[in-house]
Amino acid sequence: MKQTYPGTYRLLQVLCCFFLLCFASAAFAQQRHTISGYVRDADTGENLIGAAVYDLRSGKGTSTNSYGFYSLSLSAGDSVALVASYVGYGRQAFPLQLSQDVSHIFTLSPSNSLATVEVVATKQEKIEETTRMSTISVPIEQLKAVPALLGEVDVIKTLQLLPGVQSGTEGASGLYVRGGGPDQNLILLDGAPVYNATHLFGFFSVFNADALNHVELVKGGFPARYGGRLSSVLDISMKEGNMNEFRGEGSVGLIASRLTLEGPIKKDTASFIVSARRTYADVLARPFMKKDRGVVGYFFHDFNAKLNYNITSKDRLYLSFYTGLDRFHSRYVWDRSYSKDSYYSEDKANLDWGNNTLSLRWNRILNNRLFLNTTATYSRYQFDIGMQNESERSGSGGTSMSKYNLLYLSNIRDYSIKSDFDYLPNPNHYVRFGAQAVTHQFRPGALHMKDVDDGQVRNELEEGSRTVANEAAVYVEDDVRLSEKLKVNVGARFTGFLVAGETYTSLEPRVAARYLLNNKLALKASYAKTSQFIHLLTNSGIGLPTDLWVPATKVVEPQRASQVAIGAAQTILDGQYEVSVEGYYKTMKGIIEYKEGSDFTTTVSNNWENKVTAGKGWAYGAEIFLQKKVGNTSGWVGYTLSWSNRQFAELNYGAKFPYRYDRRHDISVALFHKLNNGWNLSGTWVYGTGNSVTLSESRYMVGEYNVVDNYGSRNGYRMRAYHRLDLGFSKTKEKSWGQVVNTFSLYNAYSRQNPFYMYYGRGRDSDESTYRQVALFPIIPSFTKSFKF
């Protein structure tokens, strides 16, 4: 069914007229000159994303884009005092008399080495000044300082501590943002989508913090440049590689080690960075395995690499690559000999899953007000399950042999090219526009089975399906200052999706506004319409990688959502603290679930569309966030009050029910404190209402042995509340060759027995059968030794 929208052309006409008026006002403005360039780290040459660039005299300013580029047009002949600043860095001034266009590169030094930087009192873009809302950037150093499970620094687990974001289950690295599911998050690594961001069945994420430069989470009020998902955008940028000198860092922990190396290929022209991580749980467990009978093993690894090349002063080329793999495998041998007969059997099984991404990006400064970034990406996610059996029986009747092989796999591949333009005609406008084309290749399930007995094939089966879909989108947005108090980001995104002869289209208006009540307090509001043309079929709640990515089809329509948010933002205590309060309401339709009795094993062939049912959802709530990014003591406090519900005609008798991860109250506290002599303390505490689960209300017998459960309403029971305290202590020692950091942490410091799942059975101290809860993690200490050189 082709989707159409009444009023589409009228809306397009309004937007075109708006942007024409904006450009016209810029063209007839008084004569201006433009200052443009980059803001970079003085030590590494790394571009700084979101750095503020302001003229102290006029009070006008801008911020650097995702590649560190800025452009600011001011009145000709003015005396300008330009200042660049960035969180965790010293500020740098550049005074000049503006008589012509100027190109200038700011090089900021980290705050621990300010001697070479002119430090001046200046203002930086504050939370109440920016148009965007529902957007949070967490400094990389804070991400690394959060106490971690088994000492493994985890980007996504840190984001779970933010208001409006939930983890799902104990220890899991999923993201459930404002009532949405994990498939509704657009996770980008250097512009390439990552379809499964977890290791170890969901307990760790695939992102190595040592290789990252910038992490930003968008929960609502989505700018038009983002599309394809309903609930959030997690935009992660890798480091570019040190342009000035060779450096390295790494760590050795209880279950994994990592190493990152970076440096110049040609100083100030080309650089590289490589980063690797591997767990050695399989190696540590090997001595305890009975090798003569059976072996069970598991490991994961990651590898990141990036090349950065300055072709000219206006052209820059990046090539980045990521690969990661999880492998769970087992081998069991049965070998028996009797007086006349002998029997040998060997069983092997494996479960593998992983991602590959590749990004090639070209930046060009077309002129001092227009910046172009073109990105070509490849992304693949695949899991496969394999089982093998070989057996041999010998006796007086002769020898017989048999072999059995089964392989099940599922994958999704993306090929994409995208061009983004940043145009800054004057300080009152920041225009972005661009286009993208994507080819999706879906393989929801493929099965190969072969059974051989004494060299003769007895059974052989091979079936599966492939689907190719094409997606294209164009967008335009303008961050426009209408007055000193009112600033608006307005734009639209138009997307088309073609699959198996069916075409879906989507026109998505986006608008966000802020109004300054005074110079420290702003009111904000946003509206965003979003569409998602791919689905994730999932029935696992513990991060199993057996979820299937499938496209919208003639039978299964795309997902659609609308979200409106209002709020207030303010800085307090001389800008040291940022506080925001937001309320949101989101509606979703076209979300899918497995029908009762169906799962991924029934979706091998083209009939997966008949195994799902479509429904709708609602999510609404309020969030409070208080954050301090700088100083010896930093951190944040967040609180979320929320509701999330679902309704499907073929589930729960058509009645509305709570989403499994509906959580009424969610509180998170994260604190970091620097002491003297290299000591650092960190701690996090979380509290959340228990997850919703479906439990049987009664049981009865059918026949002599068959027990039948009579289930109540779907997700009609709440597990106990969840709360946990994590603590971390680290000591930094300076060495002649670099530094060493010893970190000791406690996960679940007071050993709260948080429920992981529930089962019906007898307790240890009672013969009475009832529902029992299973806790996963008690208090877990860990030690990590990190180093830099």
Tell whether the model's pLDDT for residue 448 goes beyond 60. yes
Tell whether the model's pLDDT for residue 117 goes beyond 50. no
Alpha carbon 475 to chain centroid distance?
22
User: Residue 506 — pLDDT band, cuts 50, 70, 90?
Assistant: very high
* DSSP letter for each residue of 230-296: SSEEEEEEE----SSS-EEEEEE-SSEEEEEEEEEEETTTEEEEEEEEEE-HHHHHGGGS-TTTEEE
Report the C-alpha gap between 517 and 486 in whole angstroms: 10
For 150-183, the pLDDT digits (tens) are: 778 888 888 989 999 987 776 666 789 999 988 8
Residues of the chain with CATH 2.40.170.20: 135-788
**What does the pLDDT read at residue 580?**
94
Among the listed residues 718, 634, 626, the one whose alpha carbon sits nearest the alpha carbon of residue 668: 626
State mean pLDDT over 532-554.
76
Q: What are phi and psi of 16, to 5 degrees?
A: -60, -45
Q: How much of the chain, in percent, has pLDDT values that exceed 70?
A: 87
Assign residue 678 a region (left: φ > 0; alpha: ψ between -120 and 50; beta: otherwise): left
Among the listed residues 285, 305, 303, the one whose alpha carbon sits nearest the alpha carbon of residue 295: 285
Q: What are phi and psi of 292, to 5 degrees?
A: -75, -15
State mean pLDDT over 125-139.
84
**What does the pLDDT read at residue 341?**
78
User: Residue 34 — pLDDT band, cuts 50, 70, 90?
Assistant: very high
Among the listed residues 56, 113, 60, 61, the one whose alpha carbon sits nearest the alpha carbon of residue 90: 113
For 571-611, the pLDDT digits (tens) are: 888 778 899 999 999 999 999 888 876 665 555 555 778 88
State mean pLDDT over 718-734.
91
User: Residue 120 — pLDDT band, cuts 50, 70, 90?
Assistant: very low
**What does the pLDDT read at residue 290?**
58
Mark 33-61 as b/e (b = at least 16 C-beta within 10 Å): bbbbbbbbbbbbbbbbbbbbbbbbeeebb
Mark 319-337 as b/e (b = at least 16 C-beta within 10 Å): ebbbbbbbebbebeeeeee
**AA identity, residue 461:** L
Report the C-alpha gap between 433 and 473 in whole angstroms: 11
Tell whether the model's pLDDT for residue 255 goes beyond 60. yes
Which residue bears the tokens 């970076």?
A: 262
State mean pLDDT over 645-674.
91
Q: Of 104-113, 455-464, 539-548, 675-684, give the range with the top mean pLDDT.
A: 675-684
Residues 689, 667 contacting (CB under 8 angstroms): no
Assign residue 144 a region (left: φ > 0; alpha: ψ between -120 and 50; beta: otherwise): alpha
Under CATH, what is the fold of the domain 135-788?
Maltoporin; Chain A (2.40.170)
* Residue 231: other Cβ atoms inside 10 A: 30
Choice between 500 and 7, residue whose per-residue pLDDT is larger: 500
Burial class (CB in 10 A: 0-12, 13-18, 19+), 253: buried
**What does the pLDDT read at residue 115?**
35
Tell whether the model's pLDDT for residue 508 goes beyond 60. yes
Report the C-alpha gap between 520 and 485 in whole angstroms: 11
State mean pLDDT over 40-47.
91
Residues in the chain: 789
* Residue 191: other Cβ atoms inside 10 A: 23
Q: How much of the chain, in percent, has pLDDT values that exceed 90?
A: 50
* Residue 288: other Cβ atoms inside 10 A: 6
Report the C-alpha gap between 95 and 84 in whole angstroms: 11
Residues 273, 241 contacting (CB under 8 angstroms): yes
Tell whether the model's pLDDT for residue 3 goes beyond 90. no
State mean pLDDT over 392-413.
83
Burial class (CB in 10 A: 0-12, 13-18, 19+), 357: buried
Q: Of 73-77, 642-646, 770-774, give the range with the top mean pLDDT.
A: 642-646
pTM score: 0.88
Q: What are the distances in angstroms from CA 752 to CA 543, 638, 671, 725, 756?
A: 22, 21, 20, 9, 12
Class of domain 31-108: mainly beta
Report the C-alpha gap between 266 and 277 in whole angstroms: 27
Residues linked to residue 617 through DSSP beta bridges, in sequence order: 588, 646
Report the C-alpha gap between 185 and 187 in whole angstroms: 6
For 414-436, the pLDDT digits (tens) are: 999 999 999 999 989 999 999 99
- The two tokens of residue 716 are 């009609």
**What does the pLDDT read at residue 597?**
65
User: Residue 286 — pLDDT band, cuts 50, 70, 90?
Assistant: low
**What does the pLDDT read at residue 272?**
96
State mean pLDDT over 260-270.
94
Residues 233, 218 contacting (CB under 8 angstroms): yes
Pairing assessment for the beta strands 106-108 and 32-41 based on DSSP bridges:
parallel
Report the C-alpha gap between 459 and 239 in whole angstroms: 52
Residues linked to residue 639 through DSSP beta bridges, in sequence order: 624, 667
**AA identity, residue 779:** I
**AA identity, residue 179:** G
Q: How high does pLDDT run on average in the chain?
A: 85
**What does the pLDDT read at residue 575?**
74
**What does the pLDDT read at residue 723?**
93
Q: Of 111-115, 443-447, 751-755, give the range with the top mean pLDDT.
A: 751-755
Burial class (CB in 10 A: 0-12, 13-18, 19+), 542: middle
Alpha carbon 485 to chain centroid distance?
34
Coil, strand or helix: which one is 227?
coil
**What does the pLDDT read at residue 259?**
95
Residues 358, 192 contacting (CB under 8 angstroms): yes
Ranges 68-77, 235-244, 390-399: which has the least confidence: 390-399
Q: What are phi and psi of 18, to 5 degrees?
A: -60, -50
Residues linked to residue 685 through DSSP beta bridges, in sequence order: 669, 725
Residues of the chain with CATH 2.60.40.1120: 31-108
Ranges 121-130, 227-236, 537-546, 771-780: which has the least confidence: 537-546
Report the C-alpha gap between 191 and 698 in whole angstroms: 51
Helix then strand then coil, in percent of the chain rounded to 5, is 10, 60, 30
Report the C-alpha gap between 491 and 408 in whole angstroms: 44
**What does the pLDDT read at residue 1?**
44
**AA identity, residue 386:** G
Report the C-alpha gap between 219 and 180 in whole angstroms: 10
**CB contact set of 283 (below 8 Å; sequence gap of 6+):** none
**What does the pLDDT read at residue 770?**
74
Which residue bears the tokens 């959030």?
A: 232
Assign residue 254 a region (left: φ > 0; alpha: ψ between -120 and 50; beta: otherwise): alpha
User: Residue 29 — pLDDT band, cuts 50, 70, 90?
Assistant: very low
State mean pLDDT over 200-206.
79
Residues 43, 13 contacting (CB under 8 angstroms): no
**What does the pLDDT read at residue 711?**
75
User: Residue 703 — pLDDT band, cuts 50, 70, 90?
Assistant: confident
Ranges 198-202, 387-391, 510-514: which has the least confidence: 198-202
Burial class (CB in 10 A: 0-12, 13-18, 19+), 582: buried
For 563-578, the pLDDT digits (tens) are: 999 999 998 887 788 9
Q: What are phi and psi of 57, to 5 degrees?
A: -75, -45
